[in-house]
Structure 1
Amino acid sequence: MPSFSVLADEFIQRRADVGLKLFRTFVTADLDIESKAQEDQLLVILTYANDASTAQEHQQKLQSTFTSLNNIPVIVRAANIQQILKQTNPKPAALFISQPLNDDERKTLVNYSITQGVIIFSPYEGDVEQGILAGISVQATVRPLINMHTLQKGKFHIKPFYLKVAKHHE
C-alpha cells in the first residue's frame, strides 16, 4: 500500500499536469496578451522557489505543445522567483507556478503580478484564495478558478467566456 506522502505527491503532480493544460487556455484568454509580446515573441516562465527540476519537467511539457499564440512564437523558460524579480527585459507575458510556495513567496509573486501586469497561474490548492490570479478548482469537475480581487487590482482583461466558465474567488 502506498504511503500518504506518495499519494500526496501523485495528487500534486496530477494537479500540475491538469494545470499546465488549463494554463495554455488561460494565457489565450488574456485579451492583452498580444501587447505583452517583446521582440516578436511571448515569454512564458515556469517559476519556482527551489525545485528547478520540476520546473524544467513542466517546461518541456509546455514547450512541446505551446509553440505559438496568434502567430507569435512562445518561448517557455524556467526561472526561480529571484531571477524573475531581477529580470527587466524581456518581461514575461505569463507565469506558471511549478511548485507549492510559502506565504512570503506567494505574496511576492502576487505583488509582482499586479505591479508588472503579468498574469500568474497556479495549480496548487489555496493559491488563488491567497491572491494568485488564476488556478484550478477541483470539485465534481475541474474548472478554472479566478481571484476577482487580483483581476480587478491588476486591471487584467480576460475573455468573458473564460470568466463565465471559471469559478470566482471574491
Structure 2
Amino acid sequence: MEFDKSRVYTAVNADELKVGSKCIFANTVQDLKAFVKTKSPATLTSIGDESSPKRFMGSYGYADVAYLFAYLIKPPAEPKYKPFESNKKVLEAIKKHGGWVQHKEDGSFFFICGIDIDGGEEETIQMGIVWYEVGELFSNYVFADDGSPCGELVEE
C-alpha cells in the first residue's frame, strides 16, 4: 500500500478519527511509513484527551497501547437501522429522544403527539393531525436531538 499523508492523524486532528476505525499505529513517522506496508491494521479503541501527545489507543492483540500517530485504513461500519417492529419500541425511543423528529429533506421539526399501541395491524404514530406508519417515520425522519434514524438498531 502506498503511503498517503492525508490518512495520517496526529494529536492535532485526533478528534476527526472515529473510534472503531481500522488503523496502523506508530510513534514515529518513519515507523508509520514502514508499518503501513508491513503491518495488519488494528482497531482504534479510544482517543485520549488533549493533555497528552499520545492520543490514540490501539491494540495489536494485547493490551491497549497509546500511540502518537494513526494511519486510517478503514472507518468503522455505520450502524444499520430498520423500521420499528412495534409501537412499544417506538414509545421507548420517543421517550429517550424527547419526542421531537426532523424531516430529512426540508429540515422541519415535528413533535410526536400520539402512538397507536392497541395492537392493530399497522403500527402508527401521530404528528399534528396526521397519522403515519412507522415505515414512513423511518424513511422520512430522524430524531431531532442527535440525528439518529427513527428506527431500531440492527444487531449483527
- Fold match by TM threshold 0.5: no
More helix by proportion, 1 or 2? 1
TM-score normalised by length of structure 1? 0.21
More strand by proportion, 1 or 2? 2
TM-score normalised by length of structure 2? 0.23
Structure with larger Rg: 2
